[in-house]
Amino acid sequence: MDDIGERPSKFRKLDTSEDTAENVIKNESMDNPAELTSPPSVKEEEQEEDPLASIDAPATSAVAPPPSKSQQKKLIKQAAWEAGKDYRKAKRKELHKAKVARKAEARQELEEKIAKGEIEAPVVPKKQFRRPMQVPITFLIDCDFDEYMAEKEIVSLSAQLTRCYSDNKSNQYRTHLVMSSWGGRLKTRFEIVLANTHLGWKGVKYLDSDFVTAAAEMHDIMKGPEGGKLAGALAGEGEGTSEVKIITEAHQEVTSEISDEALSAQEPSIVYLSSDSPNTLDRLSPNTTYVVGGIVDKNRYKGLCYHRACARGIQTAKLPIGEYMTMQSRTVLTVNHVVEIMLKWLETGDWGDAFLAVIPKRKEAKLRVKRDEEEDESENEGNGEEEDGEQVS
Ligand code: SAH
């Protein structure tokens, strides 16, 4: 169905072309977007001025056929949408003002209580700035899925990649970030619509080669002087050893440890992440490339990445979500959530914490494992909603 023609009936998007991460975040952060979706109905005079008016006007071109009934309906809806623009803008402003006022009131109340000695002033710990540290791990986004995605899914994916970059940049332990099979509409979007901003992203590589070749290149870089240090959850791993640990379906731990001498001759360690894999990731290992499928498909292509990895003889693993969480919905996550979870793991070494911090609230994820009293009581804090690009709800 015609996507553009369909949009007015849904009243969903303000701008169809610029669905960037920023826009998505902006739209989602509005207090109550539902209230903005009911613009005033279009008055008859207004409708007459709009596209429909031309229906009765003398035809300028002899061949222009009159619009069909459904086209007329669409045009009316489109006109209503246009007419509601100012209303929605005013409503947004109103909501924003009310929010600011509410916050100011709450702050004043708190200050008064503190002044009266009713409550103690909260001690706000100063956030210490710690320089991000490079670790010898690569997150590689396999961007070879152009033909599987609709245009708007490409837009979502570009927003997700932007998120991956900024999350990695601000993480305490920074990984190497690579986009393999860089090309197609995704690349064009970054170059033209997003005005090549990606070229300014430090530490991100864009390679034409496929994920296997790109991972081999990263293997050498991770072993080299710029590879990074074993820090965070990787601290204590033996220097000079590479260990890939995943748990197979048969509940056997598969660990391959390689000595220094063997290391240079060693095959690159690659794990393709897929929720369809029978194996479960236990931990992240140094000198390893973790491949994430760069695709937004709302799960139309189940098993696509899993089969791609198997065909190339690459080991696969799913995140240990089932081991740590009980969830209401399925566990196919977006590219940026998968990356964010692994980044969090690098900081804490705790999958439970990582899932709680990242998995969207609406998935109602709760910790399965009782770790200690306090955490057991805690609610899932999540990181807010990330509708855009979610695979399955
Ligand atoms: N149908 C696609 C789904 C893409 S989801 C497929 O065949 O995989 C985008 C990517 O995020 C996946 O390719 C996978 O690399 C990663 N991913 C999503 N959920 C995951 C999970 N639970 N465990 C491991 N990787 C996951």
Q: Is the CB of 320 under 6 A from ligand 1?
A: no
Q: What is the percent of the chain with per-residue pLDDT over 70, rounded to a whole number?
A: 67
Q: Is the CB of 321 under 6 A from ligand 1?
A: yes
Q: Is the CB of 157 under 6 A from ligand 1?
A: no
Q: What is the pLDDT of residues 338-350, one digit of tens each?
A: 999 999 999 999 9
Q: Give the pLDDT mean for 85-114.
A: 93
**Ligand 1 pocket: which of 179, 318, 332 to mutate (most atoms within 8 A of CB):** 332
Q: What is the pLDDT of residues 271-283, one digit of tens each?
A: 999 999 999 999 9
The pLDDT value recorded for residue 130 is 77
pTM: 0.64
Residue 201 makes CB contacts below 8 A (sequence gap 6+) with 165, 169
The pLDDT value recorded for residue 257 is 56
Burial of residue 248 (CB within 10 Å: 0-12, 13-18, 19+) is middle
Task: Quote the mean pLDDT of the chain.
Answer: 78
The pLDDT value recorded for residue 324 is 85
Q: What is the pLDDT of residues 352-376, one digit of tens each?
A: 999 989 986 665 566 665 444 334 3
Are the C-beta atoms of 228 and 136 separated by less than 8 Å?
yes
The pLDDT value recorded for residue 323 is 86
Q: Give the pLDDT mean for 137-145.
A: 98
The pLDDT value recorded for residue 364 is 59
Burial 57-77 (b: 16+ CB within 10 A, else e): eeeeeeeeeeeeeeeeebbbb
- What 3-state class would DSSP assign to 6? helix
- What 3-state class would DSSP assign to 147? helix
> Does the pLDDT value for residue 223 go beyond 80?
yes
Q: Is the CB of 179 under 6 A from ligand 1?
A: no
> Which residue's CA is minimally distant from atom 22 of ligand 1?
275
Cα–Cα distance for residue pair 208/202, rounded to 1 Å: 18
> Does the pLDDT value for residue 57 go beyond 70?
no
The pLDDT value recorded for residue 118 is 86
> Does the pLDDT value for residue 128 go beyond 50?
yes
CA 160 to centroid of ligand 1, rounded, Å: 13
Q: Which of 83-87, 212-216, 358-362 is least confident? A: 358-362
> Does the pLDDT value for residue 137 go beyond 70?
yes
Cα–Cα distance for residue pair 206/204, rounded to 1 Å: 7
Report which listed range, 8-12, 41-45, 93-97, 322-326, is most confident. Answer: 93-97
Please state the atom number of ligand 1 nearest to the C-alpha of residue 335.
Answer: 11
| Model confidence band, residue 19 (pLDDT cutoffs 50, 70, 90) | very low
